[in-house]
Amino acid sequence: MNKRRTTWEWPVIIVVGAFFIVPMLAMTRFAMQRVPMSLLGRKTILSRWTIRGLMNTISDDKFQPAFLLSVRLGVVTVLVVLALLLPTVLWLHLRAVQWKMVAEVVSLLAYVVPPIALVVGVSGAYRDTVPWIVSSNYGLVPLYVILCLPFAYRTLDVGFAALDLHTLVNASRSLGASWQQTFRKVLIPNLWTAILTTSFLAFAVVMGEFAISSLLLKRTLPTYMVEAQGREPQGAMGVALLLLVLTTVLFMVLGRIQKKSPTSSSQEIRITP
Partner 1 sequence: MSELDFPRLVSPDLRENVTGGPAGSRASSTSGHWSPSLVLPLVPYFLFVGLFLAMPTVVLFTKAFRPVTGSTTSAMVEAMSTSNRSSFIFSLKLSLYSAILGALIGFLFALAATRIERPRRLRNLVTGFSGVAANLGGIPLAFAFIASLGAQGLFTRILYHNGLDLYGNGFKIYDFWGIVVVYLYFQIPLMLLVMLPAIDGLRPTWREAAINIGASPFQYWRRVGLPILTPSLLGGTLLLFANAFSAYATAYALSSGGSRLVPVQIRFYLQGNTITGKGNLGYALAAWMVLILLFVMTGYLLLRRRAERWRTA
Within positions 230 to 259, which residues make up the interface with partner 1, using CB under 8 A? 236-237, 240-241, 243-244, 247-249, 251-252, 254-256, 259
In sequence order, what are the residues at sequence separation of 6 or more whose Cβ sits closer than 8 angstroms to the Cβ of residue 137?
Answer: 69, 73, 218
Strand partners, 250: none
DSSP 120: H
Considering only residues 141-180, where is the footprint of partner 1 by CB under 8 A?
A: 142-143, 145-146, 149, 151, 154, 158, 161-162, 164, 166, 169-170, 173
Instruction: Give the integer Cα–Cα distance in Å for 132 and 127.
Output: 8
Tell whether residue 131 is a contact of partner 1 (CB under 8 A). Answer: no
CA-to-CA distance for 226 and 66, rounded, in angstroms?
12
Chain positions 48 to 107 lying near partner 1, rule: CB under 8 A, are 84-85, 87-88, 91-92, 94-101, 103-106
122 near partner 1, rule: CB under 8 A: yes
Closest CA to 71 of 137, 155, 147: 137
The verdict on 195 binding partner 1 (CB under 8 A) reads no
4 near partner 1 (CB under 8 A)? yes
Query: With binding defined as CB under 8 A, does residue 189 bind partner 1?
Result: no
Q: With binding defined as CB under 8 A, does residue 196 bind partner 1?
A: no
Minimum CB distance to partner 1 smaller for 30 or for 192: 30
- Residues 6 or more apart in contact with residue 54 via CB below 8 angstroms: 31, 32, 234, 235, 238, 239, 242
